[in-house]
Amino acid sequence: MRRIALLGATGSIGRQAIEVVERNPELELVALASGSSDLSELAAAHGIEHVQVGGDLTALLDASEPDVVLNAVVGFAGVGATLWALEHGVTLALANKESLVAAGDLALAARERGGGLLLPVDSEHSALHQCLEGRSPGSVHSLVLTASGGPFRGRSRADLGDVTVEEALAHPTWRMGPKVTIDSATLANKGLELIEAHVLFGVPYDSIEVVVHPASVVHALVRFRDGAALAHLGHPDMTVPISYALTYPDRAPTDVPQLDLAAGLTLEFEAPDLEAFPLLGLARRAGEAGGTFPAAFNAANEVAVAAFLDGRLPFLAVPEVVEAALDDVDGAPARDLADLLEADAEARRLAGAVPVS
């Protein structure tokens, strides 16, 4: 039996994870957490005693003694659970990319001490993990992250002035929660994923490329020094990376269909438009600057996305708020969680105070 703590149980990843657990008799849910949704019905249906809504999740994790923590919390709120799993050497199935972006150095130090597995549940990073497994780091030339381009691919900056929340939430290929869907429309998601890839795989930023691939069939590629590249292909369905992480290394079967190549499959790629979608470039700059700049990028982006979803901020102001906040933070490295919380709070305060024209 593999005991799973599912954090973010009512979100898009959480619901699909429950389907994966129900399919696999060797997986058992032992703890459930959500940010604010009631869990009593779900807990009763699965006979789970360790349940928590909101707050610090570390006591829940201590009490439920999981073998795997599936962290599908949204945003910086997931940091505590990420650090708990890494510190305790408990397998971390990580769907909360924000925690790795914000707490990168602390997370790597905790993983070093804990010695457990860190399995990404982000389609691109799961793909990279699979393409890199068993390869020597010296043989790797570069990583390629693919981006769908989101609902506004092909639009110029001038065409983005009056887009609505509903339009931004209409993602062409992936079914996801609202935060990551808006991040996909601004390309902030790919920026967060760029930093996530750097932290996970230790590859320098100038060796991680982002390309737009509208079909979302190729999830990532690894280029090797001999000129070969390995790509990971599949239908855009989060069931696969969730199942991969929860049943690692067995690759349990799923109900996701195989690719039908004979029916025709055209793979198109293009460069991202950094002028229309400046958050990707801002994330790269924050990542290269290091320290708590990535945490500040993430915090300011969370504030701006929440304001956009509330109708308080136009779409084009989201990157403006993030850029203004990044200009004002000091970005000094965090020595501990208290430092990180302070850097996060400072970036949120600055982002919240940016005047919007």
Judged by beta carbon, residue 74 or residue 313, the one nearer Mg ion is 74
Smallest distance from the beta carbon of 121 to Mg ion, in angstroms?
A: 9
Smallest distance from the beta carbon of 312 to Mg ion, in angstroms?
A: 27
Judged by beta carbon, residue 64 or residue 173, the one nearer Mg ion is 173
Smallest distance from the beta carbon of 144 to Mg ion, in angstroms?
A: 13
Judged by beta carbon, residue 64 or residue 189, the one nearer Mg ion is 189
Judged by beta carbon, residue 242 or residue 334, the one nearer Mg ion is 242
Judged by beta carbon, residue 177 or residue 352, the one nearer Mg ion is 177
SS (H, E, C) the chain: CEEEEEECCCCHHHHHHHHHHHHCCCEEEEEEEECCCCCHHHHHHHCCCEEEECCCCHHHHHHHCCCEEEECCCHHHHHHHHHHHHHHCCEEEECCHHHHHHCHHHHHHHHHHHCCCEEECCHHHHHHHHHHCCCCHHHEEEEEEEECCCCCCCCCHHHHCCCCHHHHCCCCCCCCCHHHHHHHHHCHHHHHHHHHHHHHHCCCHHHEEEEECCCCCEEEEEEECCCCEEEEECCCCCHHHHHHHHCCCCCCCCCCCCCCHHHCCCCCCECCCCCCCCHHHHHHHHHHHCCCHHHHHHHHHHHHHHHHHCCCCCCCHHHHHHHHHHHHCCCCCCCCHHHHHHHHHHHHHHHHCCCCC
Using CB positions, name the residue nearest to Mg ion. Answer: 122
Judged by beta carbon, residue 64 or residue 184, the one nearer Mg ion is 184
Q: Which residues bind Mg ion (CB under 5 A)?
A: 122-124
Judged by beta carbon, residue 256 or residue 356, the one nearer Mg ion is 256
Smallest distance from the beta carbon of 221 to Mg ion, in angstroms?
A: 14
Smallest distance from the beta carbon of 237 to Mg ion, in angstroms?
A: 12
Smallest distance from the beta carbon of 247 to Mg ion, in angstroms?
A: 20
Smallest distance from the beta carbon of 122 to Mg ion, in angstroms?
A: 4
